[in-house]
Structures are given as structure tokens and as C-alpha cells.
A = this chain, B = another copy of it.
Amino acid sequence: MLRLYDSLLSGNCWKARILLSQLGVKYERITLDLVRGDHLQPDFVKLSRFSRVPTLVMDDGRPIVESGAILMHLADGTHLLPDDKYARTEVFSWLFFEQADLQKAIAVPRVYNIRGLASQMADEIALRQKDGYGALDKLESWIKTRDWLVGSSYTIADLGVFAYVSVAAEGGYQMERYPAILRWLDSVRSTKGWVPLIVENSLSR
């Protein structure tokens, strides 16, 4: 059985959980408490390059790290990643855009807010938000005339970009500026098998 090492609030881990649910794949979920330092335990350090979540461990014990790589690996051969080479390349392009332009810009201010460090880290938050608003403006301009990021149906491009954008308000972003993004986020939430960020963690240990 697949094993997913995740953490409770990470958007990158959430992507993997949504996809596993949408593909109907059974897996064991092991949720690490990063504040407590679970990810620094020797067994996990040995397993996961750079001790990061999400880490997906395959049946044969080999690990996959980086959320984008996990999505691509799991979705390959399914309806959530097109077979056509150019369409695949477009999907990958969005996954790179999200990691380069959106992920840290949203995740870092969000973590500071959640940990009550917003005033202390105000300068850094402002800088990250400058990055993030630039990327959200781009996303809004793209999705305004479209239902999905690539082609005419939901793919892992949508899923990959969705996770952090959907929690951007927790990072202090004024999301009411982005009506097309809000509509598209709702569309992603309506896809079959989608799961919310916080769910009962029946298989964690």
C-alpha cells in the first residue's frame, strides 16, 4: 500500500491527499508534527530527501518528494493528466508556475499568520505578498475567460494551483479582488473526490 507522510496544514500535502482521493487510491497516512520536529527523526531523514513533506512512499519502498512530482507520478495514465504530449506540457507548465510564483508567496505569510507572527514579520510578509499579488493577477487574467487552466476539463494543473490559492486569505491576501479565481476555486471544490484540508486522520500514528 502507498504511504503518504504529510502534515496537517501544508497545502503541498493537501494536493496529494486530494489526488489520492480523486483517483480512489488507498493509502496509509502518517501525519508529522513539524513544530515538534517529527520530520527530523532519523528514519524520516533517511527516507525523504531534505526531510520534507509530502513524501509518498511507493509499494516497493521508494520515496517520491516534491508535490508536483507526486502529482505527475500518480496522475500519469489517468484522466487527470492528458496523454497528448502538448497538453501534458501545458499541465507541467502550470505546476512549475505555481511552485515558482505562488507557493512560497502564500505559504510563508500564511504560516506567520497562523503562528501569530504577523506583526513581527511584517516586512517579509509584504515582500512575499508583492510576489504573490503579481502571480494572482496573472492567474486571474488567464482564468477569466476559461473554466479550467488547461483544455476543457479539470487536470492536476488545476489541483496543483488550487491548494495554496484557496488558502491565500489566510496569508493576508485580499481575494475579493479576484472574482474569476474565486469562481474557479469553487469549480475545483466541486470536482468528484475533492476533500477539504482538515479531515479526520484515521490512519495517522
Q: Which residues of A contact B (CB under 8 A)?
A: 49-50, 58, 62, 64-69, 72-73, 76, 85-86, 89-90, 92-93, 95-97, 99-100, 103-104, 123-124, 127, 131, 138, 142
Contacts and interface: CB of A to CB of B under 8 A. Distances in A.
Nearest to A67: B96
A65 B93 contact: yes
Given A66-B97, A96-B99, 10 more contacts: A49-B138, A58-B86, A68-B92, A69-B96, A73-B85, A95-B96, A96-B96, A99-B99, A100-B100, A127-B127
A1 B194 CA distance: 42
Given A50-B138, A100-B100, A64 B93 contact: yes
A149 to B, nearest CB: 10
A89 B104 contact: no
26 contacts: A49-B93, A49-B142, A50-B138, A50-B142, A58-B86, A62-B86, A64-B86, A64-B89, A66-B92, A66-B100, A67-B96, A68-B92, A68-B96, A69-B90, A69-B92, A69-B96, A73-B85, A73-B89, A92-B92, A96-B96, A99-B100, A100-B100, A100-B103, A104-B131, A123-B123, A124-B127
Contacts of A95: 96
A39 B69 CA distance: 30
Nearest to A65: B93
Contacts of A76: 85
A131 B100 CA distance: 13
